Amino acid sequence: MQTTLTSRLGLRHPVIQAPMNWATDARLVAAVSAAGGLGTLGPNAGARTPAASPEEAGERLRAQIRAVRALTDQPFAVNIPIGRGPMRAFSDRSVEVVRDERVPVVIVATGSPSVYTAPLKSVGIFVIHAIAEVRHARKAVAEGVDAVVAEGFDGGGHSGFAELPSMPLTRQVARAVEVPVIAAGGIVDGCGVVMAAAAGAQAVYMGTRFMAVQESPVHPRVKEAIVEADDTGTLSWGRTTEVARTLANGFARGFREREASGMSPQELHAYIADYRSAANRRVGGLLLGDLDQGEIYLGVGAGLIEDVPGVAELIERIMADACSIATRLGAAFEDGADRQAAAVP
């Protein structure tokens, strides 16, 4: 399947591996890009501890970019969530590094498109901005971004306070803006690709599916938990603080209980800041496999994942399934039209 976006980025398939912070590294990213999709380095890619300074974070990112390039000559992306408060120096440093290294694509998240779009575009970088509401998509386009990701509430990780599911969001964004739209949230298979394309998306953006692959750096217990998850295997929490979706485990249920007990947003912020600052908590869930108390971001599509294949096999399978579903649907609609035509005198 080719779209304006895949041609512009030089992709063989409309499949983007979504940024996933610690759950990404050069090996995963290069595998996705070499297989014809677009791999994305998240913040902290390849690391197991937080960087002590913006300079250290920048040099780690540079090393990961170079490691991807040593493994593949295909295009790839870097994700830069715009840092708040003291974290802003970290994202500013990442912008300097991606400009220096001439990274082809940058996916900016969690903040205003007025911050980094111009500095990135001025050196020819293709800028994708992640949004979760139509008005934010319009604003990003007005700032000059090249494409937007419509991130639904069904996806793993953080999403918007409006809690919009991926398909209605994608459809409404695609009707509202002229730039290519990428659908995100709950997409894990060929059916998801067809749904996204029908809603007007030019590519899919998958996080959770690219955790349960051979090349993913997440702990094997996390991959097993994804395979075992059913439709209720994830929970969203943080309605007043940050809206996140994770594995439905002791940590997520504990947060929900605190919300239900009437804790204020300030108290909840303090609780989560404290939780994350404890030793190993940041990486404990995803990289160390603490299935009960870890913060393990996961989308609703986990309920459809049944295996842990290699990346190349997965992408081929997803696109072959999408093609056969689209062909069967096309034939069903044509048959229906024929029968209707025959029935009409």
Ligand X SMILES: Cc1cc2nc3c(=O)[nH]c(=O)nc-3n(C[C@H](O)[C@H](O)[C@H](O)COP(=O)(O)O)c2cc1C
Single out the segment in contact with ligand X by CB under 6 A; choices: 119-127, 138-146, 178-186, 261-269.
178-186
Among 90, 116, 255, 297, binds ligand X (CB under 6 A): 297
Nearer to ligand X, 188 or 333 (CB): 188
Interface residue with ligand X among 36, 54, 83, 185 (CB under 6 A) is 185
| Of 14, 19, 83, 233, the one binding ligand X by CB under 6 A | 19
- CA dist list (Å): 86 to 42, 96, 170, 283, 340: 19, 17, 33, 21, 64
- 140 vs 118: CA distance, rounded Å: 11
Is 299 near ligand X (CB under 6 A)?
A: yes
Q: How far is CA 121 from CA 12, 63, 90, 113, in A?
A: 24, 23, 19, 12
CA angle 44, 79, 244 (to 5 degrees): 75
Judged by CB under 6 A, which of 130, 141, 167, 272 binds ligand X? 130
Those residues with Cβ within 8 angstroms of residue 293's Cβ, 6 or more apart along the chain or in another chain = 249, 250, 251, 284, 285
Q: How far is the CB of 147 from ligand X (least distance, A)?
A: 14
Map the footprint of ligand X across residues 81-110, applying CB under 6 A: 81, 109
Of the two residues 239 and 328, which places its CB atom closer to ligand X in the complex? 239
Question: What is the β-pairing status of strands 76-81 and 105-109?
Answer: parallel
**Closer residue to ligand X (CB): 263 or 308:** 308
| Residue 284 in the binding site for ligand X (CB under 6 A) | no
- Listed residue (163, 149, 136) closest to 243, CA to CA: 163
Q: How far is the CB of 200 from ligand X (least distance, A)?
A: 18
Residues in the chain: 345
Binding site for ligand X (CB under 6 A): 18-21, 23, 42-43, 79, 81, 109, 130, 151, 155-157, 184-187, 205-209, 286, 297-299, 301
